[in-house]
Amino acid sequence: MSKLIIENISAGYGSVQVLHSVSLDVNPGETVVLLGTNGNGKSTLLKSVMGLVSPSVGAIRFEVDGQETNLVGKSPEEVVEMGIVMVPEARRLFPLLTVEENLTLGAYRDAARKKINENLDFCFTTFPRLKERRKQQAGSLSGGEQQMVAVARALMSEPKILLVDEPSVGLAPILVSQMIAKIKELKEIKNLTVLMAEQNFNQAIKIADRGYIIVHGQIEFEGKDAAALENNDMIKQYYLGV
């Protein structure tokens, strides 16, 4: 089982600092949600884990079977190779490639290549709609179907830890509910560890074991369980309109 420990990282783009000494951890088998409205640094945090953004200070420790690696300084390829995979915001599919080709591209990690057929079957069982559309260009799918491809592509790489960046963006409410339920189901079947960034509090809370609220690049609140998040004044004010 694997564990992620983010310790006091600061990161940004050029001279603009976005994350200010952020600490957060995800224990084996947990679903942790990172809640925050637009522009507060959720994606920057996930990108830091993936090696797409380089923190200027701090450590990102990844523990697998008692062995620990600092991810800071690793390339995105190295991070993926270790078993950390992100479902990026806005899906980022190859629009001209078919569903099946997009999924196959998710399996470039060594551990995944051997299991490509097995995992493809699993993805098609999980998302029967994608099986029907396997030969269709990804760019011609609906938003909900594209989100399915993005999640399925991540599964193709046999992740130990799945990072999901705002799966609800651009989807109709019913599809958001379905996608959130699917992530929960997958987590249980695959025994995944999940870190999900969301601004849709009501949806995220449905699958959260616990979570954090990020405001202006700082963790403002840590909720030990879903109830603690729901009872938080900031959540009531910003998300629930109380």
Ligand X SMILES: Nc1ncnc2c1ncn2[C@@H]1O[C@H](COP(=O)(O)OP(=O)(O)O)[C@@H](O)[C@H]1O
Q: Which of 6, 22, 36, 102 binds ligand X (CB under 6 A)?
A: 36
Q: Which of 2, 44, 126, 232 binds ligand X (CB under 6 A)?
A: 44
CB atoms within 10 A of CB 108: 14
In this structure, are residues 201 and 24 in contact, taking their beta carbons and an 8 Å threshold?
no
Of Mg ion, ligand X, none, which one sits near residue 13, judging by CB under 5 to 8 A according to partner kind? ligand X
48 binds Mg ion (CB under 5 A): no
Of Mg ion, ligand X, none, which one sits near residue 2, judging by CB under 5 to 8 A according to partner kind? none
Cα(235)–Cα(242) distance, integer angstroms: 9
| Residues that contact Mg ion, how many (by CB under 5 A) | 3
117 binds ligand X (CB under 6 A): no
Identify the burial level of 35 via C-beta atoms within 10 angstroms of its C-beta, where 0-12 means exposed, 13-18 middle and 19 or more buried: buried
The nearest distance, CB 237 to ligand X, in angstroms, is 18
Of residues 68-97, those binding Mg ion (CB under 5 A): 89
- In this chain, which stretch among 2-10, 11-19, 182-190, 223-231 interacts with ligand X, using CB under 6 A? 11-19
42 binds ligand X (CB under 6 A): yes
The nearest distance, CB 18 to ligand X, in angstroms, is 4
In this structure, are residues 155 and 186 in contact, taking their beta carbons and an 8 Å threshold?
yes
Cα(79)–Cα(51) distance, integer angstroms: 7
The nearest distance, CB 140 to Mg ion, in angstroms, is 25
43 binds Mg ion (CB under 5 A): yes
16 binds ligand X (CB under 6 A): yes
- In this chain, which stretch among 31-39, 59-67, 70-78, 172-180 interacts with ligand X, using CB under 6 A? 31-39
User: What distances in angstroms separate CA 233 from CA 101, 206, 240, one per listed residue?
Assistant: 46, 19, 10
18 binds ligand X (CB under 6 A): yes
- In this chain, which stretch among 37-45, 129-137, 147-155, 182-190 interacts with ligand X, using CB under 6 A? 37-45
168 binds Mg ion (CB under 5 A): no
Footprint of Mg ion (CB under 5 A): 42-43, 89
Footprint of ligand X (CB under 6 A): 13, 16, 18, 36, 38-44
